[in-house]
Amino acid sequence: MIEIIYGFLKAFVVGGAICTIAQLFINKTKLTSGKILVYFLLAGLFLQSFGIYEYIVDFAGAGATVPISGFGYLLAEGAIKGANSGLYGAITGGLASASAGVTSAIVFGYLFALIFKTHSKN
């Protein structure tokens, strides 16, 4: 039971730290949200290309894989594994490793768009 709570605590601290850094960028810079997302994705990709982000994932689990930097990590990991089978594998490896997450985002987004009615803010 203590191990489970410790795992949750690690995920909360690391995920919270990543989100805090993003919030600081939003509050203290004039960067748009889209640019910040791209920078975090590239940070995860860059850190994994040197094998650093994998240690963060091993330590924090979902606290490191759920934020957008975890998506960059997933793309880099897939591309590195796919590179073992050649150039085509390096190109498609990242997409193959992220396909389940992207597919579920599209399917659930479509389902919720059917269920809920959108409206503009006043």
In the chain, the number of structural domains is: 1
Cα–Cα distance measured from residue 12 to residue 2, given in angstroms and rounded to the nearest whole number = 15
pLDDT digits (tens, 9 = 90+) for 104-115: 889 999 999 999
Residue 81 forms part of a structural domain:
yes
Residue 120 forms part of a structural domain:
no
Residue 122 forms part of a structural domain:
no
Confidence of residue 92 (pLDDT cuts 50, 70, 90): confident
Residue 46 forms part of a structural domain:
yes
Q: Which two tokens stand for residue 44?
A: 């995860």
Mean per-residue pLDDT for 76-84?
87
Mean per-residue pLDDT for 51-70?
89
Contact 77, 56 (CB under 8 A): no
Residue 42 forms part of a structural domain:
yes
Residue 121 forms part of a structural domain:
no
Residue 55 forms part of a structural domain:
yes
Domain span at residue 53 reads 2-115
Mapped onto helix, strand or coil, the DSSP state of residue 110 is helix
- How many residues in the chain? 122
